[in-house]
Amino acid sequence: MAPEQKSDISIRHSIRWIPSSSPSSSSDTSPPSEPTSTIVLTSPSGRFVDLRIFKEDPSSPNHTSVFINLNSHTGSETEADEAKTLPLSRLDWAIAGTSTHTSTRPTIGYYGQKLILPDGRTVNGTTADLKSGKHPYMRGRWTHWVDSRVLHAEEKISAEAGDNGSSTDEAAADEGDMYRIPGEGNEKLALEKGRMVNPESGQEEEYEEVWVPDEEGVAEPPYVDCVVWELDDKLKNKKGRVVKVGRWAQGISRRGNELLCERWKWVGGENEQSGWRLEARVKGYVGGEEKRKVDEKDGSYLDEPLVFPRALIDDMISVGEAGNTKEVGDAVKESNGDVWTLVEWCP
């Protein structure tokens, strides 16, 4: 039976790759590190947006910020936002999809192994520990609806399924075993173990990721806990999702080879003006600008770049606040004709 889900903000603390030629307990495996700022926002129904952006300083212990000093981006709002705009080379991975978690036996080797935490401490995993509930575990599955690494996801799934061309609307899924492990003081950590392709080696390898929940962030700002908007225009080959949980909001939009990802944070307080601030933006064309459609007659571009209109985003992720009441199924329309639909929100 799947446990009841609630809104969640998960920040990745570290990742460690375990080559197939090396046992998990071997000392020659790579140490845990975190070169990215990775945040996953998940709604109660399991809809999520997962953005993994390479940090300006890979050794920075601040895993929620892409930049060394976000306050250095000064000037007008437009100028500051442009300074936070990064090329696709700074994007590790961006995913929008649906997650499920089920209590089950782990499928990746854990018994009798040493799990290495980011600070170097180890947790001995034994059958007795698991049976006693010392380190509770669940099986997580993340189905990808929009994926920065997969252009035509439904065709990929169709080919793998061997269904002679019929397609689904889902991309590939990844799975992993989740364990609750001890942290410093009252810190709650989750260890995820699974298998996926290591971008550096190009090979499928075992991995260990340590995640930290942003429990304080879930409760901010007031009025509403979670909001989810979606764009699904098959005629224009556009898909997108915006998820807001507490003080964080993230969006991903894709049109063919073109990709746009943004992250916002609620800032301010009693003594200063509060509002949503752009934390980072990544955009571009997978494979380069040459993938952009050009008019053969005059060389002009045939389409406008993907954008999340600032005013529209402020309105969308502020649903539930005073004076901004909407119902599931309500839609907002951009000037370019794109229609975003409210698919979920909860107080």
**Domain, as residue range, for 330:** 217-346
pLDDT band with cut points at 50, 70 and 90 for residue 1: very low
pLDDT value, residue 90: 96
| Mean pLDDT of all residues in 120-129 | 52
Residue 163, in any domain of the structure? yes
* Structure confidence at residue 26 (pLDDT): 46
Residue 3 domain-assigned (yes or no): no
268 & 315 share domain: yes
Residue 221 forms part of a structural domain: yes
Gap between the terminal Cα atoms of the chain = 25
- The half-sphere exposure of 127 on its side-chain side, counting CA atoms within 13 A, is 0
Whether residue 198 has pLDDT greater than 90 = no
Whether residue 303 lies inside any domain: the answer is: yes
Find all residues with CB under 8 Å of 62, minimum gap 6, and list them: 37
**295: CATH:** 2.40.128.310
pLDDT score recorded for residue 199 = 79
Task: Of 76-80, 239-243, 336-340, give the lowest mean pLDDT range.
Answer: 76-80
Question: Do 228 and 212 share a domain, yes or no?
Answer: no
CA atoms of 104 and 148, how far apart (whole Å):
30
Residue 149 near residue 97, CB atoms below 8 Å: no
Residues 62 and 158 in one domain: yes
The pTM assigned to this predicted structure is: 0.83
More confident residue, 173 or 75: 173
Domain final position from 168, 191, 216: 216
Residues 206 and 281 in one domain: no
Report the alpha-carbon distance of residue 41 to residue 311 in Å, rounded: 22
Is residue 113, in this structure, part of any structural domain at all? yes
Q: Where a domain ends, among 216, 246, 261? A: 216
As for how many domains the chain has, the answer is: 2
Q: Which of 6-15, 106-115, 208-217 has the highest mean pLDDT?
A: 6-15
Q: Which of the listed residues 183, 201, 216 is the one where a domain comes to its end?
A: 216
Percent of the chain with pLDDT over 70: 71
34 and 179 share a domain?
A: yes
Same domain, 161 and 209: yes
pLDDT confidence of residue 93: 94
Q: How far is residue 291's CA from residue 285's CA, in Å, rounded to a whole number?
A: 7
Same domain? 232 vs 116:
no
Residues 206 and 229 in one domain: no
Do 33 and 152 belong together in one domain? yes
Of residues 227 and 178, more confidence is placed in 227
Q: How many CB atoms lie within 10 A of CB 296?
A: 7
- 208 lies in the same domain as 284: no
In the predicted model, what is the mean pLDDT of residues 200-216?
85
Confidence at residue 300, expressed as pLDDT on a 0 to 100 scale: 67
